[in-house]
Amino acid sequence: FVPSFSQRSCNVQMFLSCFIRGSGGFPVRHWRQRTSIFLALLLGVVATLAACGTSSQSSGPVNLTFWSFNQQITEQAAIFNQTHPNIHVTALKEPSGPNQYYPKVISSVKAGNAPDVALIEYQYIPTMVANGALVDISKYGASSVQSQFDPGAWSQVIRGSAIYGIPQDTGPMGLFYRTDIYKKAGIASPPTTWAEFAVDAAKIHALGPNYYIVSFPPSSTGWFQSLMWQAGATWFSIDSSKNAWKVTVNSAASKQVADYWQTLVSAGLVSTVGDFSSDWGAGLDKGTIASWPSAVWGQGVVTGDAADAAGKWAVAPMPQWTAGANVSGMWGGSGISVISGTKHPQEAEEFASWYLTNQQSLKIGVKEIGWFPANSSARQFPEVTSPNAYYSNQVIDKVFADAQIQSGWTWPPNLTNVNQFMGDDVNAAIANKTPLSAALDKLQGQIVSDMQSSGINVES
């Protein structure tokens, strides 16, 4: 996946631990040949234990370690262990902060004490691959379960012919809105286009100086990226002819989105309070922030922050750039990946596939963890198809299930730095009242420079 690769040969002294990987995370097998009969016999005896990247054989069960963000994974692992006597999974809940979790996974790979299986959010898969932290599980039969998953979700775990995980959940976007505030502003139905959304923004702000249709949160990089995704922007891609990354952050599609929100911000028709802040939550509860374009998981955020507004919120499809279209972006979502260095990649893939195809495991994920599942059969569970009392008995998950995810979006191999640059640039633009489109131009240069300084082949 990374355009440059290096290969290192195992020496004789290290042949018992010779699972050596190239910089792109692909397994490389090198055996030193010897004419010594004794060494040949020795290698034959220990081959099944020392083979690079293959499962060792032992009299007891294969032991796997699984990292994720959720406590309920212990329940799922227990079910797996009961039905798989030859494999035992120990599930460990890890802190979920992106600046905690992913550096820990990468450092554990380098230290040789990584988990065998771990939850990896889609947006961090390229970063993990660039650090040699993920196993391509296509060679272990992962493609056999592809038909069971939403195509948009499956596209997030593949890179070319490589498969770097099994899709767990997705984050399609929709529009959460306050029916009472819309009605009070004379808006009969939620906007179906972004042009209508801008008109409605003026109507809602006319209710009073503290009323806004939405907040534009400068630090919410994932939210802004999902809006770019919906508009058809493709920030990152790979030019296979040049074996290089291509960066198009400041494309026409991206600037269309930036200029749109610039107009609303400059006119004072949207708030700029940070999402997930106490002021933002109070706005949802009081109705002074009357909408939130968000992912499917946002339903739990709304019910928590706007606990006093039950029956006043509803969900509609995302406003469209083209009237009559039905496309959305994705904010969030994750998969289960096999981690580099595992001595048991075949068994690790078996667990990952089971975890996201077994009906008992899926029910725990949907009911107790709150997945909007990538598995198509799990989208028929009552938790997904039943009316939601808080939302006036609307079957809100249907809105997200019907969303068609815009194709073409790819995440970069340096997402942490991209988000840091983007947050700084957008915040500065809002604070200094400079154009958001200019912030994208600055971001474009920063990303290219960062990739080049990191040794990543990138088109300038």
Reported as a pLDDT band with limits 50, 70 and 90, residue 112 is: very high
Instruction: Evaluate whether 429 touches 272 at the Cβ level (below 8 Å).
Output: no
Q: Which of 221, 123, 227 is nearest to 422 (CA)?
A: 221
Q: Counting runs of H as helices and runs of E as strands, what totals does the chain give? A: 17, 16
User: Of all residues in the chain, what percent carry a pLDDT higher than 90?
Assistant: 82
Higher pLDDT, 12 or 187: 187
| Tens-place pLDDT, residues 350-377 | 999 999 999 999 999 999 999 999 999 9
Q: Is 361 strand, coil or helix?
A: helix
Furthest-apart CA atoms within the chain: distance in Å: 89
Which pairing describes strands 166-178 and 236-239: parallel, antiparallel, or unpaired? unpaired
Lowest mean pLDDT, pick from 2-11, 156-165, 285-294, 428-437 = 2-11
Instruction: Evaluate whether 258 touches 425 at the Cβ level (below 8 Å).
Output: no
Looking at residue 330, what is its pLDDT? 96
Compute the distance between CA of residue 448 and CA of residue 460 in angstroms, rounded to an integer.
Answer: 6
| Tens-place pLDDT, residues 80-111 | 999 999 999 999 999 987 778 999 999 999 99
Q: What distance lies between CA 286 and its chain's CA centroid?
A: 31
Mean pLDDT of 248-252: 97
Q: Which residues, at least 6 apart from 242, have a Cβ–Cβ distance to it below 8 Å?
A: 457, 459
Compute the distance between CA of residue 351 and CA of residue 40 in angstroms, rounded to an integer.
Answer: 34
| Tens-place pLDDT, residues 116-175 | 999 999 999 999 999 999 999 999 999 999 999 999 899 999 998 999 999 999 999 999
Token reading at 72: 């309920």
Which pairing describes strands 313-316 and 291-295: parallel, antiparallel, or unpaired? unpaired
Token reading at 255: 């600037």
Residue written as token pair 């790819």: 410
DSSP state of 365: I
Is residue 9 over pLDDT 90? no
